[in-house]
Structure 1
Amino acid sequence: MGPTKDYLHQEFVYENVMYSVQRGFPWSAVAQIASMTKELLHDLKGLEKSEVISLIQRHLVQCQLPLPHAQQKALHDFIMETCVCHHRLYQAFLNGEINLKHTHSHLEICAPPCPLPLCEGTDVATMEKQQVLRELKAADAEKMSEIHRLKEQAKEQLTAELQASLGKKVHLHAFLQAQGDAVKDILMQEIKAIQELLDLKLRQSSLLGPVHSSNVLWFFKKLSTSNSSKPN
């Protein structure tokens, strides 16, 4: 047995003896434990963990230590924990597997962010309300963009029809009728989009309260004024 193995063997026996002394075991029992652990470490060579457990239990039964049940159980648990936890280390030394090279990978562990104190948190109902408002505002912006696009489309179509009729003899009433029919579908889409926009704003005002309801009424009046100012 080499010096490294001798040191490991002595340390194993020493730890068990010191544990027994610190627990107040009788000196006769301490001597038996020292003798048992000297033999035990050699017998561990080549055993699996399950076999190690059986071996320790067998050695303790054979020793017949003059100890009460509680102290025997404490010693049993200590030896079990030592041998099982360091099983691979003991096997490596007993089998001469020293100076082995192992490859290790260092993985970065990202801990979750520390939660805010409860006093700084947001109530579930408030959070859900804010989420609904964000969705309504996004739909509002999308609908405004659609209305603007429809207005531009109608304007471009009217301009194109007007330019196409230049230089031609066209009756005014027939021309206006043709223009109305040409942009009728676009205007209907615009009216539908405006109605949907008003519905979105009403839903927002119901969530935001009476202060914002006045803004919606102002939007209604502005829209009504804008529509009434358009020539028929």
Structure 2
Amino acid sequence: MSTHDHDHDHQHADGEHHHHHERGPESYYAARTKALESLFREKGLIGTDTVDRVIHFFDHEMGPFNGARVVAKAWTDAAFKERLLEDANKAIKELGLREGIEGENLKVVENTPSTHNVVCCTLCSCWPWPLLGLPPYWFKDPVFRARVVREPRAVLKDFGVELETAKKVAIWDSSAQVRFFVIPERPEGTEHFSEEQLAALVSTEAMQGLGLVSQPQPGA
């Protein structure tokens, strides 16, 4: 486990930023997944029911909707947030959520007006699966893993996040021993929102520090 503080911007040598969150790679991996699924079915290694069960599991039991629910609870219940920051695994059990594989030894950090937290995994792609579901392709990208430690503000800008110069950026390196999860800052104008409405604003990127929470639409 390690953290790194950065207080200034860095640029690529060629002066460009590469966007790792475009649709291209997702389509590539989707095509590969479909091809492998077809091959396994042809060889009789898996059946349609097996694939359907796995898809149902990630659609309804394990996914970013779990993490968003945790964030919404932390925003509306100060005592819960305190317990979450102290012992994340114990606190999420209060919501009926299971640790599951890859969900052991969770550590929660909170974004504040003075500090913005970003999570990465510099060695491989350790990820809190029970709270966030399948890791996105950018988290496993070796270029992303190298850049986010070296030039976090440039990477954040690639993801559409521009922070004030005075705000510190803290980098948290997930590992097999501990996986990090971010409580993003609650947006203004959500005082009357229910936990369900708040959860709907929270993205996977926001819970890893690579995004900000969506501002509520007028009239919401």
TM range (shorter): under 0.3
More helix by share: 1
TM-score (norm 1): 0.21
Larger radius of gyration: 1
Q: Which structure is higher in RCO with an 8 Å CA cutoff and minimum separation 6? A: 2
- The normalised TM-score by structure 2 is 0.22
Decide which structure has greater strand share.
2
